[in-house]
């Protein structure tokens, strides 16, 4: 792993064309939005702070500037409580700001990218590999050396080739 000239968070304002995210975990509940997740579990409405979170502004600013933000989540059914929250609240909220979502459902097919880590890929030249603990807590990110970027581009391309648009998947499997 290597370092970047800027922290991961700054890349969301610095990328020029596209930012791609691969998600592979069933639970990110210790990584942010904890209050919203608890409200979801309790059957309460979305907190205003969740609906107007900084991330929504980040996505909206990028997509209004003509940049693409998109992600694939590798998952299998039945969905965990956290995935019901993330997809039912988070993805639908972020889609309104312009982020695109795709699902690679491995319930009835093998995972075409086993062992791929969670990561952000910016403009096909910078990769922030994400680290999480066993409880879904974000531990930080490490930047991948330039000679490994092609590996992550292949992860993205393979994931996209096997994924389906979130709205289509949600219409069939949403809970």
Contact 92, 123 (CB under 8 A): no
CATH class of the 8-173 domain in this structure = alpha beta
For the cut 60, the answer to whether the pLDDT of residue 38 exceeds it is: yes
User: How many C-beta atoms lie closer than 10 Å to residue 169's C-beta?
Assistant: 19
Q: How far apart are CA 136 and CA 15, in angstroms?
A: 26
**Per-residue pLDDT tens over the stretch 106-163:** 999 999 999 999 999 999 999 999 999 988 889 999 999 999 999 999 999 999 999 9
Rounded to the nearest 5 percent, the helix, strand and coil shares of the chain are: 40, 25, 35
For the cut 50, the answer to whether the pLDDT of residue 53 exceeds it is: yes
For the cut 60, the answer to whether the pLDDT of residue 4 exceeds it is: no
Q: How far apart are CA 13 and CA 60, in angstroms?
A: 11
Q: How far apart are CA 44 and CA 153, in angstroms?
A: 39
Q: How far apart are CA 83 and CA 54, in angstroms?
A: 21
**pLDDT score at 6:** 66
Claim: this prediction has a pTM higher than 0.75: yes
**pLDDT score at 174:** 86
Cα dihedral sign, 4-100-109-153? negative
Phi, psi dihedrals of residue 119, rounded to the nearest 5°: -160, 165
**pLDDT score at 175:** 66
**Per-residue pLDDT tens over the stretch 66-107:** 999 999 999 999 999 999 999 999 999 999 999 999 999 999
Q: How far apart are CA 101 and CA 68, in angstroms?
A: 11
Closest CA to 26 of 63, 81, 65, 67: 81
**pLDDT score at 167:** 96
**pLDDT score at 110:** 97
Taking residues 43-53, report their average pLDDT: 91
**pLDDT score at 2:** 47
Taking residues 159-173, report their average pLDDT: 97
Q: Which residue has the higher pLDDT, 87 or 33?
A: 87
Contact 1, 131 (CB under 8 A): no
């Amino acid at each position: 792993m290597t370092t970047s000239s800027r922290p991961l968070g700054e890349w969301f304002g610095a990328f020029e064309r596209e930012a791609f995210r691969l998600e592979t975990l069933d639970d990110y509940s210790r990584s942010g939005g904890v209050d919203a997740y608890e409200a979801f579990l309790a059957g309460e409405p979305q907190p205003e702070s969740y609906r107007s979170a900084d991330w929504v502004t980040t996505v909206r600013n990028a997509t209004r500037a003509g940049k693409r933000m998109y992600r694939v989540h590798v998952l299998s059914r039945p969905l965990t409580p956290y995935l019901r929250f993330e997809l039912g609240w988070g993805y639908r909220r972020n889609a309104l700001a312009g982020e695109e979502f795709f699902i690679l459902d491995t319930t009835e097919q093998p995972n075409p990218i086993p062992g791929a880590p969670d990561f952000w890929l910016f403009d096909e030249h910078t990769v922030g590999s994400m680290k999480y603990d066993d409880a879904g807590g974000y531990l930080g990110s490490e930047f991948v050396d330039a000679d490994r970027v092609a590996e992550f581009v292949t992860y993205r391309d393979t994931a996209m080739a096997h994924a389906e648009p979130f709205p289509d998947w949600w219409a069939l499997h949403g809970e």
